[in-house]
Amino acid sequence: SVFLAVALLCALANAYPQYQALIPNGSRVPNPCDPSQIAQGVGHINFQGTGPLNPFGEDFKAAGRQWTTDLCEKDSDGDGLTNGQELGDPECVWSQGETPARTTGLSHPGFDEATVSC
């Protein structure tokens, strides 16, 4: 029904900010295809947050949707930078609600910007 579709869309729209808050700079991760835009769904193939999970999304899910030292130290997209380096937590000390060590110079942990097809 239309009501169910609208309810589902609302639930999905509200879910992304929830997940963004669980990783450092989750609401500041640049879209690799247009760095002037924010990637709304950091863990998804589609930068708007729909579709299958990207490698970072798979790793985040495997970590119980928590920012762990292992997830931070991992290089999910294989670009030579750890997830922590890409998200502004190079020392892997960030906790939810804190300001990360770095809030600029970020990159996307789910896509290697040098090889992503846009």
Structure-model confidence comparison of residues 5 and 75, the more confident one: 75
**% of the chain with per-residue pLDDT over 70:** 86
Q: What is the pTM of this model?
A: 0.85
63: in domain: yes
Which domain does 8 fall in, by range? 2-87
For residue 57, the model assigns a pLDDT of 97
Q: Specify the number of domains making up the chain.
A: 1
pLDDT in tens, 98-109: 999 999 999 999
55: in domain: yes
Listing DSSP states for 6-64 in one string gives: HHHHHHHHHHHHHHHTTSTTTTTPEETTEEEEE-S-TTBSSTTS-SSB-HHHHHHHHTT
Listing DSSP states for 84-116 in one string gives: HHHHT-TTS---TTSPPS-SSS---TTS-TTT-
111: in domain: no
116: in domain: no
100: in domain: no
pLDDT in tens, 53-79: 999 999 999 999 999 999 999 999 999
For residue 16, what pLDDT band results from cuts at 50, 70 and 90?
low
Asked if 73 contacts 47 with a C-beta cutoff of 8 angstroms, the reply is no
pLDDT in tens, 19-29: 999 999 999 99
108: in domain: no
117: in domain: no
